[in-house]
Amino acid sequence: MSASALAQFGTKHIAKGIGRLSNEIIESGSGSYLTMVGGRKMLDFTTGIGVANLGHCHPAVTKAAQSQVAKLVHGQVNIAFQKPYLDLVQSLKPLMPHKSLDTFFFWNSGAEAVEAAVKLARHATKKQNIIVMQGSYHGRTFGTMAMTRSKTVYGEGYAPLMPGVFSVPFPYCAQCSIANHSAGKYSFDNCCMDPILQLELLLKRETAPSDTAAIVIETVLGEGGYVPPPPHYLARLRELCDKNNILLVADEVQCGFGRTGKMFAVEHWGVRPDIMIMAKGIANGFPLSAIVSRKELMDTQKPGSMGGTYAGNAVSCAAGAAVAKAFQDERILENVNARGAELKGTLDAAKADSRTGSMIHNVRGMGLMLALECVAGHGYASKIQARCMEKNMLLLTTSIYDTIRFIPPLNITKEDMAKGCQIIKEAIEEVAAGEKPAETGTKGLAPE
């Protein structure tokens, strides 16, 4: 069957609810590249939406998974301990951002892990309500749809959703009306902290602290636009949680595992979460997610209340342990910070350039979790994305604002980063000059 015939078959028989960037058919992946049926090779700055953090088919991860397949594929966590599960706990425990995070539960997907965190928070505190951030993405299950506030498409038409969820603004300084009308008094480096005020008001008006189990926050906003919080915000949030006996839950599904230049993004601010959620890069493409908390919280749950048929699958855990080892052996974080500086330099230069700067509203991010937000109303982001695709490079847009996110492999080489930066530079310049590339398949509405 030809590539076009295969694509037509997929369009006909795969659920329409799946949004796709392209109707290309991926045949293989290696490092920073994907090869399509037909032979087209594309530089991948999406990494499966921040999953293949160590590049496609990383040799050590592949070897670990292949070896485990020959030993045990599925042992089931409620039957007995599995060695790969225990090996992964031993590998991850020293990497945690705080020593109190010492007790783990593994599941399959990010959304499941978010629900596991909510389940733990509600049970441990004996309180119901959950506070989330506007712009956040937590998943598409009924619980996480209620918590997701990045776009209406994820929950539209599926009500009633899980009750007891409240939202407050995330400190998105580039879109803050106070900062934008303060004549320079307030900015990312000097936040007005209105989101903290709004949170304090919420606890007085809508959900009393005595009814509030947890505040769940993506440490760096993901689907909402790759937005880091300003200095001191997370510390203020921690203080507020401690004052009101509310658990702080850090969703590190997209920003964790080295994406921001530290193993976990929360390390940039030295704030201790009560529960941390992990997925995506944890096993470099094998289905695996996790929550970690302190033992006293985890031990409140009765045996049998947690589990799952595929939870902590042996092959996925073996891959996860290989990922953790690769971070140490290959000095991944050093590469993230070096290559991140190069990519951000390209984006900053585009904003400073008189030919292209007028179409760019904001450049932001940390490590290799970077975003270019365009001036609204022109569809610049989708045009730049499409132009990059025409140059054999995959990019994703994100957010209700006109934003491109950059998610290259964390071990991308200096040469491949230079190639990517050149494609991005050319695409921005060509769109600024008025070139009109073909629209992408989802018109910029790529998932999570």
Question: What stretch of H or E contains 317?
Answer: helix 314-329
| pLDDT tens series, the chain, 448 aa | 888 899 999 999 999 999 899 899 999 999 999 999 999 999 999 999 999 999 999 999 999 999 999 999 999 999 999 999 999 999 999 999 999 999 999 999 999 999 999 999 999 999 999 999 999 999 999 999 999 999 999 999 999 999 999 999 999 999 999 999 999 999 999 999 999 999 999 999 999 999 999 999 999 999 999 999 999 999 999 999 999 999 999 999 999 999 999 999 999 999 999 999 999 999 999 999 999 999 999 999 999 999 999 999 999 999 999 999 999 999 999 999 999 999 999 999 999 999 999 999 999 999 999 999 999 999 999 999 999 999 999 999 999 999 999 999 999 999 999 999 999 999 999 999 998 887 654 454 444 4
**Kind of pairing between the strands at 289-293 and 275-278:** antiparallel
Cβ atoms within 10 A of the Cβ of 95, count?
A: 15
Contact 32, 55 (CB under 8 A): yes
Contact 128, 211 (CB under 8 A): yes
- Specify which residues 421 forms β-bridges with: none
C-alpha triplet 17, 20, 25: angle, nearest 5°: 120
User: In terms of C-beta density within 10 A (0-12 exposed, 13-18 middle, 19 or more buried), how is residue 206 classed?
Assistant: middle
